[in-house]
Amino acid sequence: MALPTAQPCPVCTSELVTLKINVDGHDLIMCSCQTCDTRTWELAGEDINLEAALDHVGTHAGRRRRAGV
């Protein structure tokens, strides 16, 4: 399975770190910038907001986890 192509950060243009999580058969993707700490989320190829993403993860896992440090 190929990883998504690294995207540039929309804020500082550094390379984003992409983390892909499968939630109930949907691909939840977090793009995180290590330079400016910007994070974007996508679900099934569409941008979603962070609260919606956490809601999906929380529902699936039964608890919340902090992404990154």
Kindly list the residues in this chain that would bind Zn ion in the complex (CB under 5 A). 9, 11-12, 14, 33, 35-36, 38
Phi, psi of 57 (to 5 degrees): -65, -45
- Nearest residue (CB) to Zn ion, 4 versus 8: 8
As a whole number of angstroms, the distance between CA 5 and CA 55 comes to 26
Q: CB-hemisphere CA count at 13 Å for 16?
A: 22
Based on CB atoms, which residue is closest to Zn ion, 9 or 29? 9
CB of 9 vs Zn ion, minimal distance in Å = 3
Q: Which is nearer to Zn ion, 7 or 49 (CB)?
A: 7
